[in-house]
């Protein structure tokens, strides 16, 4: 499987301009690619104030996802990322999406909301575990940004093994070391591939450089190839991944656990 992460410079709260920018970048993705990943909140960036959030949030069948569905069909590869969502219930979510060329869409809401911003105040957390997406013979999960810090949230289980973890992100360069360390750690402990697609540019929370996006194999080795346009690629080998698990079946010794998804008091 060939994957691509697109480090997009996101314009604050400007959906149309960001859709144009994303379309331009997707048009440059190599045609034999299977999955292209856009950064976290790729159409709005992180919006902290409630009024603007209410203006920009969209339902699952809104303009952003309908546009992504047309892109996936046109280009012939799946497209993943996250957007500012609402279900019309007065609540707002940082919602990951995985859109397939045939039109199937999987959503997963960010569970862990970043406490150094107002995300944990103005957004609502996800209430379900990340679903397993079956795509072109691979089992895939998608989480968002700060979720990466919580290993239990992505723990691979023998009853529901997955092979690739996708992480649309918005980590500033000041935290580049823990970002890459955590991507590598999630790959090693779960015996999977991981890919972090981080934004570029600048906002009030920090600076974001092109080189932050990355891809790791199941041994925690960085395997990305960077193109002149800043896109990063890797070829993932499912046979080698499964053979590696059988040679060193650490997952069979993993502990069973349950997660309490009720709101904290």
- Domain range annotation of the chain: 2-253
pLDDT average, residue stretch 118-136: 95
Q: Is 222 a catalytic residue?
A: no
Nearest Cα to 42, choosing from 70, 75, 20, 74?
Answer: 20
Q: Is 110 a catalytic residue?
A: yes
pLDDT average, residue stretch 132-149: 98
Q: Which of 47-51, 56-60, 183-187, 208-212 has the lowest mean pLDDT?
A: 208-212
For residue 263, the model assigns a pLDDT of: 66
> pLDDT tens digits, residue range 74-97?
999 999 999 999 999 999 999 999
What is the C-alpha to C-alpha distance for residues 68 and 19, in angstroms, rounded to an integer? 9
Q: Is 40 a catalytic residue?
A: yes
Catalytic residue, from 40, 58, 100, 119: name it: 40
Q: What does the buried/exposed string (b/e) look like for 106-133 if buried means 16 or more CB atoms within 10 Å of the residue's CB? A: bbbbbbbbbeebbbeebbbbbeeebeeb
For residue 107, pLDDT over 80 is answered with yes
For residue 226, the model assigns a pLDDT of: 96
Radius of gyration of the chain (CA): 17
Q: Which of 109-113, 218-222, 260-264 has the lowest mean pLDDT?
A: 260-264
Catalytic residue, from 110, 141, 180, 224: name it: 110
For residue 209, pLDDT over 90 is answered with no
Catalytic residue, from 4, 141, 145, 180: name it: 145
What class has domain 2-253?
Answer: alpha beta
Question: Model confidence at 264, in pLDDT bands (50, 70, 90)?
Answer: low
CA angle 21, 34, 228 (to 5 degrees): 50
- Average pLDDT, rounded, for the chain: 95
Q: Which residues is 106 bridged to in the sheet?
A: 98
> pLDDT tens digits, residue range 145-203?
999 999 999 999 888 899 999 999 999 999 999 999 999 999 999 999 999 999 999 88
């Amino acid at each position: 499987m060939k994957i691509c992460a697109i480090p997009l410079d996101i314009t604050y709260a400007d959906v149309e301009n960001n859709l144009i920018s994303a379309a331009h970048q997707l048009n440059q993705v190599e045609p034999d690619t299977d999955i292209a990943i856009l950064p976290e909140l790729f159409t709005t960036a992180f919006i902290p104030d409630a009024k603007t959030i209410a203006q920009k949030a969209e339902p699952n069948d809104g303009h952003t996802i309908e546009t992504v569905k047309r892109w996936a069909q046109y280009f012939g590869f799946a497209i993943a990322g996250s957007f500012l969502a609402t279900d019309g219930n007065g609540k707002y979510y940082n919602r990951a999406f995985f859109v397939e060329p045939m039109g199937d869409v999987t959503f997963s809401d960010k569970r862990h909301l970043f406490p150094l911003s107002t995300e944990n105040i103005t957004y609502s957390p996800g209430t379900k575990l990340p679903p397993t997406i079956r795509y072109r013979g691979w089992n895939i999960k998608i989480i968002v940004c700060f979720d990466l810090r919580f290993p239990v949230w992505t723990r691979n289980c023998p009853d529901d093994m997955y092979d690739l973890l996708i992480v649309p992100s918005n980590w500033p360069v000041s935290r580049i070391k823990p970002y890459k360390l955590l991507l590598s750690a999630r790959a090693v402990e779960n015996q999977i591939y991981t890919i972090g697609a981080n934004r570029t540019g600048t906002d009030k929370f920090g600076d974001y450089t092109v080189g932050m996006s990355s891809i790791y194999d199941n041994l925690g080795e960085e395997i990305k190839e960077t193109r002149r346009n800043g896109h990063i690629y890797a070829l993932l080998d499912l046979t080698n991944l499964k053979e590696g698990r059988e040679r060193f079946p650490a997952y069979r010794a993993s502990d069973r656990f349950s997660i309490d998804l009720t709101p904290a008091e």
